[in-house]
Chains A and B, each alone.
Chain A
Amino acid sequence: MYGKEFEVANVLRERIQSEFKIKVPDDEVGFITMFLCLEEDTKQKDERVGIVVAMHGEAAATSIADVCNRLLGENFVIGYNMPLDQKPEVALSNLTNIVRRAHRGKGVMLLVDMGSLALFGDMIYESTGIQVKTVEMVSTPMVLEAARKALLNASLEEVYDSVVNLSPYVGRIYRDSMKFGSPLKKNVIITACITGEGTAVKLKSILEKNLDLKGKDIDIIPLEIVNSKEFKRKLASIKEEKNILAVISAIDPEDDSVLYISTSEVLEKSKLHLLKEKIESISQDNIIDNMEEVIRENVNIDSKKFLSIFKKFYFALKEEGVSLNQDITISLILHLACLIERILQGKPLIHLKNTQEYIKGYPKEFDIIKRCIKVIEEGYGTRISDAQLVPIMQMIYSL
């Protein structure tokens, strides 16, 4: 079966014997043969199922392909944009060329959005003989799954199955959530070094010392770096189950959604401060959710609705560059809940004396509050008077 390899191994034996003046036993020739065959196996790694995304529009397909390539740390997925005014014949011939290029012996998985693109797979198979399987209504998680499977050297059949049977909930975790990280995923910080034992563990203990992580449910995971590609792939697979807040390592994961701190920067206050802020904002999100029950028990309004509107207000402020600490967030939630209750039930409101002074004294701040409060006014179809905005402004800006 491995006749050729055995022949080469025999030649090698001759050379070794003459070079080192030793006798190489027959068993060793077998070993050498195995090493040569091993090489054969690794060569097959390149024979993966090709992944091609084809969609209507100027950039949709290449965008999705880019996302997947970056997440997987491989330049593997190919995107093909079909502008709306492109003739199907032109698209077909372009795609045929792309499929030829993507085919490495195991066939090609074609993921398309709709229409004529869905028919091309069979046509390309007819004209080229390359096995092409087509899936419609493509989405990013589908492409990601297909590429991931293909990179693991799965067959075309397996890749197809994994895409078709992909849980519809993948990629929907973020639905109805305005958080930066998914609430369902555990928050982690990654520290990494070559062995995963020395520096990475040291970094972990530095972080534990400098960040107040108690009661925050954030894990620090030390990781080893084999090489840059492998490292990125590992991060991508952690990302599937966990929410990575930051990566501290010598290698930049090149992922915008993750805060990257290099090993040498870890002792810099400014970088560490960024991480602290990120941690703070996460626990802030938890606080907002925890307040739902408090509101339900104490204030006579629909607490779920109130908090979803409050979150919009909170993020509107954030966009204006106003970030709130825990004290203020909680106080603001309680205050606004009481205010809404009183307005909805027509109860008397509390009026401060010097409201005009504050409105005149802090015009910029007042403007921001007035703009942001609109989401609450719209949410409840009511108006909140300028006088009532003053205590809110005082709270937010600690005036």
Chain B
Amino acid sequence: MKVLLVCNAGMSTSLLVEKMKKAVKPEHGEVVIEAVPVEQFEEEVVKGYDVVLLGPQIRYKKPDFQKITDELGIPLEVISLADYGMVRGDKVLELAVKLYKEKKGGQ
């Protein structure tokens, strides 16, 4: 599973990435998580990701980004403020796994 996290500068999201990586268990298989700033979204999203997650501070970008991800067939979701604020890597990973499974189930 390849997960793309998008936030403003990729600074705070890097904290979340660390936490998510620690939460990865064997049953998740191979998990790759990348964090990029908003401006790199378009060039990055085409690189074969399974799930895209947005930081709550760029919630307002969701409609724009969703057009792109819908075309690519990638699920996109905004991380809940509580999980993001508390840097709950395990919860965010759960969200990614859920979206990933739904996507696979739908195909």
Q: Which residue numbers of A lie inside 8 Å of B, CB to CB? A: 287, 290-291, 294, 297-299, 326-328, 330-335, 337-339, 342, 350, 352-354, 391, 394-395, 398
Contact = CB atoms under 8 A, between A and B. Distances in A.
A337 B8 CA distance: 14
Interface stretch (B45-53, B82-90, B91-99): B82-90
Given A330-B81, A350-B10, A395-B8, 18 more contacts: A294-B86, A298-B15, A298-B87, A327-B57, A330-B85, A331-B57, A334-B15, A334-B87, A338-B15, A339-B11, A350-B11, A391-B9, A391-B11, A394-B38, A395-B9, A395-B57, A398-B57, A398-B60
B14 A338 contact: yes
A335 B57 CA distance: 11
Most buried by B among A332, A334, A398: A334
B7 A331 contact: yes
B73 interface: no
Contacts of B56: 327, 330-331
Q: List the 10 closest pairs (A to B, CB-CB), nearest first.
A: A334-B12, A331-B57, A391-B9, A330-B85, A327-B56, A338-B11, A335-B12, A391-B8, A395-B8, A298-B87
A69 to B, nearest CB: 45
Contact of B39 (A328, A331, A339, A354): A354
Nearest to B55: A331
B59 interface: yes
A330 B7 CA distance: 13
A352 B36 CA distance: 10
Contacts of B11: 334-335, 338-339, 342, 350, 391
Q: Is the interface of A mostly helix, strand, loop or mixed?
A: helix
Contacts of A334: 11-12, 15, 84-85, 87
Nearest to B15: A298
Contacts of B14: 338
Nearest to B35: A350
B87 A391 contact: no
Contacts of A335: 8-9, 11-12
Nearest to B88: A294
A399 to B, nearest CB: 9
Interface of B: 7-12, 14-15, 19, 37-39, 55-60, 81, 84-87
A365 to B, nearest CB: 14
A354 B39 CA distance: 9
A304 to B, nearest CB: 18
B15 A331 contact: no
Contacts of A298: 15, 19, 87
Give the one of B12, B58, B81 with max A CB within 10 A: B12
A339 B14 CA distance: 11
Given A327-B59, A327-B81, A330-B56, A352 B37 contact: yes
Contacts of B87: 294, 297-298, 334
A342 B9 CA distance: 14
A118 to B, nearest CB: 54
B84 A331 contact: yes
Nearest to B12: A334
8 contacts: A299-B15, A326-B81, A330-B84, A331-B12, A335-B8, A350-B9, A391-B8, A398-B58
A179 B45 CA distance: 42
B85 A352 contact: no
A338 B12 contact: yes
A190 B81 CA distance: 31
A333 B57 CA distance: 11
A287 B86 CA distance: 10
B64 to A, nearest CB: 12
A394 B81 contact: no
B86 to A, nearest CB: 6
Nearest to B60: A398
Q: Which of A290, A297, A330, A354 has the most chain B CB atoms closer than 10 A to its own CB?
A: A330
Contacts of A327: 56-57, 59, 81
A331 B9 CA distance: 11
